Amino acid sequence: MKYRTLGQGLKVSAIGVGCMPMIRNGNINYGGAADLDEATRAIHRAIELGVTFFDTAQIYGPFQNEELLGEAIKGKRDGLVIATKFGFSFQDGQITGVDGSAANAKASVEGSLKRLGIDTIDLFYQHRVDPNVPIEDTVGGMAELVKEGKVRHIALSEAGPETIQRAAKVHPITALQSEYSLWERGVEEGILDACRENSIGFVPYSPLGRGFLAGTIRSLDDLPADDWRRSDPRYQGDNFAANLKVVDAIARVAARHGASNAQVALAWLLAQGDDIVPIPGFKRRVTMEDSVKAGDIVLDAEDLQELDTAAPLGGTAGPRYGERGMRMVRL
């Protein structure tokens, strides 16, 4: 396993594990309900292979994903970097809105520490920017948690360039997590530059385009009836057909390397900078073992040119979220 360094010297495996799909009967159905025993075995196998970076969030489940990860890492905590997120309000276990207040950060960290069964959260994100709370107040509250020893590093998710600049003036920001892949390159418009100006590492979520780039989904019929991706704008009608061209280009490059589509899509991200650490989502050992090999693939100039031509900035058909979701990104 190769390793990389995010901001503030935080060393992590070059490929992390996005734990979000490891949910059963929760609020996110990603390719069918997870087998939680298999999900736990996938986490254990990832650790055996040298993966150190595990990403979860309060909102996943909600709450149950943190609990699963906490159980899985018992007795295995040393050397791991555990990331989680806050930023929403809840009532009776249901999400009621965003809440970036310092008070919510403090209350949330206590709950996350308990569910994860750890004393300190290595990387604590604001999951979505709250437009009603100045980012200075949010980051100030998170910085207090660092002083208290409950958090090692603080981070943001889906923040826009101006927010990143303002946040970095309050406290060092270790990472920004936003969607980035061959089918979503919007962060190349100002966001990556803002991160690099402030020595902030970048953590792409959905690095495989919510599974689309892996090449196993050729129609909506390949998804379970209750899979939330059936409502994803990029999976709809003409958009779906148009976006398959990117998958086919990845497959051509993969064939030259004797690699999987997923490995090539992740290798492309790794080639965009040493400060980039993707966190593909897993719930099974087989997909995890495949993806972590991406760090061993070196794409040459011909490969990168072919992929960039097939998937230029702004070239994917359809918005990455519906209207409500788009109102919560790049703030």
Domain map of the chain by residue range?
Answer: 3-326
Q: Can you give the pLDDT at residue 24? A: 82
Give whole-number Cα distances, 312 to 44, 156, 188, 245, 256, in Å.
Answer: 37, 26, 11, 12, 21
Q: Can you give the pLDDT at residue 314? A: 96
Give the tens place of pLDDT for each residue, 156-199: 999 999 999 999 999 999 999 999 999 999 999 999 999 999 99
Give domain 3-326's CATH superfamily: NADP-dependent oxidoreductase domain (3.20.20.100)
Q: Is the predicted pLDDT of residue 89 greater than 90, yes or no?
A: yes
Q: Can you give the pLDDT at residue 32? A: 73
Give the tens place of pLDDT for each residue, 135-162: 999 999 999 999 999 999 999 999 999 9
Give the tens place of pLDDT for each residue, 272-331: 999 999 999 999 999 999 999 999 999 999 999 999 999 999 999 999 999 989 999 999
- From the list 30, 60, 205, 235, the catalytic residue is 60
Q: What is the mean pLDDT of the chain?
A: 96
Give the tens place of pLDDT for each residue, 34-47: 899 999 999 999 99
Confidence grade of residue 22 (pLDDT, cut at 50, 70, 90):
very high
The larger pLDDT score, comparing residue 229 to residue 125, is at 125
Confidence grade of residue 123 (pLDDT, cut at 50, 70, 90):
very high
* Strands of the sheet with 53-55, listed across from one edge: 17-18, 53-55, 81-86, 121-126, 151-157, 175-179, 201-205
The pLDDT of 111-119, averaged and rounded, is 98
The pLDDT of 216-236, averaged and rounded, is 90
Q: Can you give the pLDDT at residue 40? A: 97
Q: How far apart are CA 29 and CA 61, in angstroms?
A: 10
Active site residue 30: no
CA-nearest of 145, 35, 31, 16 to 83 is: 16
Q: How far apart are CA 226 and CA 204, in angstroms?
A: 26
Confidence grade of residue 30 (pLDDT, cut at 50, 70, 90):
low
Q: How far apart are CA 280 and CA 20, in angstroms?
A: 10
Q: Can you give the pLDDT at residue 25? A: 75
Give the tens place of pLDDT for each residue, 53-66: 999 999 999 999 99
